[in-house]
A and B are shown apart, each in its own frame.
Chain A
Amino acid sequence: MSRSDIARRRFLAGALPALAAGGLTLWPGAAALGRSNAAASCGSEALACLFRSRESAVRLGRAYLRQHPEEADQAALERLVFARLDGLRPDTASGLAALKRSFESARRQDFDCGAVVQLGGFMLSRTELRACALVALG
């Protein structure tokens, strides 16, 4: 394993709290949104609410986009992600709880059906990485 590989793996381990340690935990700014059950205003903003650390989600998203530059299109990514979320749409009122449920379900399905990506030694769900990529692009 090269030095750059090691550095990359450490970098991603640092970013993992977005998913592994804090996956689907609200980041502080989203708490009020959750309590008021307010509608998500747009795709990336709604998804950003799912991560404890927006910064970590951005890091993972960028790493994913480096591996899949062909997906670096916000509108296309939004379609791909929300297609996996039980019909929820970024431009319609969706409670955060429903979004969280759908996201958890999609993530699990990804692992079940092999829609996963190896990144820096981790196996991550494609949907969650695309969500991170959306946050990064947003």
Chain B
Amino acid sequence: MAIVDARSLDDGSTVTADICVIGAGPAGIAIAERFKQTSTRVVLLESGGLDADADTQALAAGEVVGRPYPDLDSARLRLLGGTSNHWGGNIRPLDPIDFTERAWVPHSGWPFGADELAPYYPRAAAFCKVPFDAFDVGKQTELMSASPWDFDGGSIRSQVFQTVGIDSRFFGELYRGDLQDAANVTTYLYANVVDIETDDLMARVERLKARTLTGKSLTVEASFFVLATGGIENPRLLLAANKKQQAGLGNANGLVGRFFMEHLTSPQFGELFPADPQLNLDFYKGRDVNWGHSWGILSFTEEAQRTAGLLNGRFQTATVLNEFNKHFETSDGLKSLKTVASAAGRSRVPDDLGRHVANIIADIDDVAESGYYRAFYYPDYPLVSVDMVMICEQAPNPESRVTLGEPRDALGMARPVLDWRLTELDSQNLRKASAELQRQLGRSGLGRLRIDMPDGAFDEVDPKPHYHHMGTTRMHDDPKKGVVDANCRLHELPNFFVAGSSVFPTVGNVNPTLTIIALAFRLADHLAELKT
């Protein structure tokens, strides 16, 4: 029907729908897209507007305890499109092993296997305007005119990632026209959900209460509700819906907010010294394509993960040092330029920006002489070394969690508290994985990897977070082990569902967005079945 500014509604308005989706990020928009131009009436509630708004964004603030983490109001965005508005755009499906129960990974295992999501991944890729066959290694080999490295039957394999193009990455902009034109979908902007109300028996959710920062209130009644506000806001809203049940909604077993997971990257990892100075990096560096950028990674085969008891991790090539740029290695200015450029490429602001700017200014001669591109990507010179980055799944940990704090936001809602914690398994895995990569590179004759991270791994350094908030309303068939069931439905309420990476029981080594969208389409299909 329209995109409506909830601030323009009469105070106390009530709207009704078949399905109410809370949150217009990747999951919420995917569900709305699934139902557009059908007979299903959908209401989509978004906290923000079409553009960023400081007062609305301030609602996302919270407290960080435990491991250091970026400010919560910088890690998530409240406007149409949600956090896709600062998304780096990297996508790839989870691996089949990610869905399985692994004896060496406590709390692992999804309620279904990879086959269940197989039909939805191509739809999710299409939603991102990426052809699904682009993930095929053969296709990448053809596209790059370069083969993956030959590990000669070893435990390392090559896989393909895609980076969604800048024109297709911000889903609020990309799908705004569809939301505007869909006769059966109404999107309410500046509508902040402040309560989720059940019937007296607590058998089903009857309505939501939303408020604007201008003081208007809105009630939404629907047959089905989908909570799709991200891995921190999802548990926050469930925990805050505590008028009838003190522990919050769906939290009879105390699991809401637990198992917060991130992807883990050691600030330093390793440097590959290739045996062949002309080692071809093209498969991994990739190239720009019509839909964005296509590039390769290395990861352990599933058999190797089983044999060595490894968590799923991936390795990426980063800065290349060659005979041309190797003398720039000692320039702090160039190092800072690299850090700033790398962060900007991911639409991020690096930590300690002021220091980096100072370094760049102090070493401006080096910076000017080299130019970023020439310094770090100048081709055709013999290789000296290649920085390797490892990105790994975090082992599920019930003590890593989101809770509610005492401070309140402008709407009177309790602020979230993030207590991010790792286990010894995460550090052990980093050490084991680095040794195994060293071994594989050595045996294959590709080169030697110097490990630069401290021996204590995450006991000595804090991992670099990726703004991936996962696991806090985990999926499990057993209500004692999960908040939602295999259909993403709250175990305790038959008409209330959760979408997004908060339902991931484990997170694999890949960025979560493609799986978030695939799961959203699957949930939407399930809701369509329920409705009929």
Contact = CB atoms under 8 A, between A and B. Distances in A.
B274 interface: yes
B449 A123 contact: yes
A interface SS class: mixed
A111 interface: yes
Contacts of A120: 450
A124 B448 contact: yes
Contact of B438 (A1, A12, A21, A122): A122
Contacts of A9: 450
B65 to A, nearest CB: 29
Contacts of B447: 20-21
A104 B442 CA distance: 11
B70 interface: no
Contact of B448 (A1, A20, A108, A112): A20
Given A20-B275, A21-B275, A121 B450 contact: yes
B274 A121 contact: no
Interface in B53-99: none
A104 B452 CA distance: 26
Interface in B446-473: 447-452, 454
B450 A116 contact: no
A23 interface: yes
Given A121-B450, A122-B448, A122-B449, A116 B442 contact: yes
B176 interface: no
B273 A23 contact: no
Residue with the highest number of chain A CB atoms closer than 10 Å, among B439, B440, B443, B448: B448
B434 to A, nearest CB: 9
A122 B448 CA distance: 7
Contact of A20 (B274, B439, B440, B451): B274
Nearest to A125: B442
Interface of A: 1, 9, 12-13, 16, 19-23, 104, 107-108, 111-112, 114, 116, 120-125
Interface of B: 270-271, 273-275, 277, 384-385, 435, 438-440, 442-443, 445, 447-452, 454
Sorted from nearest, which 5 A-B pairs have the closest CB atoms? Answer: A111-B443, A123-B438, A20-B448, A20-B273, A121-B450
